[in-house]
Amino acid sequence: MSRRIRNFLLLAPAGAWFLVMLVLPLAVVIIFSFGERGPAGGYVPAFTLAQYANLPARWAAFRNTMMLAPTGTVAALVIAYPLAYFLAVRVSARWKMTLLVLVIVPFWTSILIRSYAWIFLLGGRGIPALLDLIGISDLRLINTPFAVLVGIVYGYLPLMVFPIYVSLDRLDKRLLEAAADLGARPWAAFVQITLPMSIPGIATGCMLVFILLMGEYLIPALLGGGKVFFVGNALVDLFLQSRNWAFGSAVAATLVIVMLVTVSIYMRLMARLGNGRDDVSLM
């Protein structure tokens, strides 16, 4: 078998998948975005830029998303990094697997059910009731941006923990000994060795969480009480409530573009940070 045929056969399944699951839907979205909404909703073929001209009507949703995604990513990173560090560096090999499984276990249940757990915990009879016992009363947690952030950090934690864990676990402990040997205090060794060496994991985790957060709608709807409105929520409303597929497609296409632009800026930034290092892969 020639190399060319073999390469084709190897790539064909992924290529087909890519075409069917990514390119075609995206093409449909782009075609729809130049159409019009039918009188009873749905899509009527047309070629108009009216939907794009109407984009400012969802400016607030985009603004909120562009604030939520980085904030949520950073918050997830801040919580996930120490956890990943603990798992990779501090925990003995015997307990590692058990603890790692515990990190994933919540992923086995639907995010909906887990969010309901948080609705209860953050609701009046949950944590605020406990705080009331120690004299902190009238604290509102549920349906606040804070609750949304908690939900996001919780929901996306494993996605952030895993790549960081992997990069920290791969880190040669002898490098830290070498750093200590050369006079680096533990914190200095962390900053100069551990942290830079875990950048691939951080980059991957942030990328995953950031992209998913750009389309997030469920957690804001459930834990934000529907008062916090993101592009994802706008899309759900446009497709499922007002059935304005044309405008919904324009919003979706714009979201994809915003995502691509953000991600490429991010990649370039990472590349500069990595600066030709072969140990730092971007994804």
Residue number, 142 or 213, with CB nearest to another protein: 142
Q: How far is the CB of 232 from another protein (least distance, A)?
A: 9
Residue number, 100 or 224, with CB nearest to another protein: 224
Q: How far is the CB of 75 from another protein (least distance, A)?
A: 22
Q: How far is the CB of 136 from another protein (least distance, A)?
A: 17
210, 197 contact by CB (below 8 A): no
Q: How far is the CB of 145 from another protein (least distance, A)?
A: 13
Structure tokens at 229: 């409105």
Q: How far apart are CA 16 and CA 73, in angstroms?
A: 32
Structure tokens at 194: 């551990």
Given the rule CB under 8 A, which residues bind another protein? Answer: 37, 39-42, 57-58, 60-61, 64, 112-113, 116-117, 119-120, 123-125, 140, 142-143, 172, 174-175, 177-186, 188-189, 192-193, 196-197, 217-218, 221-222, 225-227, 229, 233-234, 236-244, 276-280
Q: How far apart are CA 179 and CA 282, in angstroms?
A: 25
Residue number, 61 or 100, with CB nearest to another protein: 61
Residue number, 51 or 100, with CB nearest to another protein: 51
Q: How far is the CB of 98 from another protein (least distance, A)?
A: 22
Q: How far apart are CA 104 and CA 100, in angstroms?
A: 7
Q: How far is the CB of 107 from another protein (least distance, A)?
A: 17
Among residues 118, 83, 79, 120, the alpha carbon closest in space to that of 102 is found at 83
Residue number, 109 or 264, with CB nearest to another protein: 109
Residue number, 268 or 277, with CB nearest to another protein: 277
213, 259 contact by CB (below 8 A): no
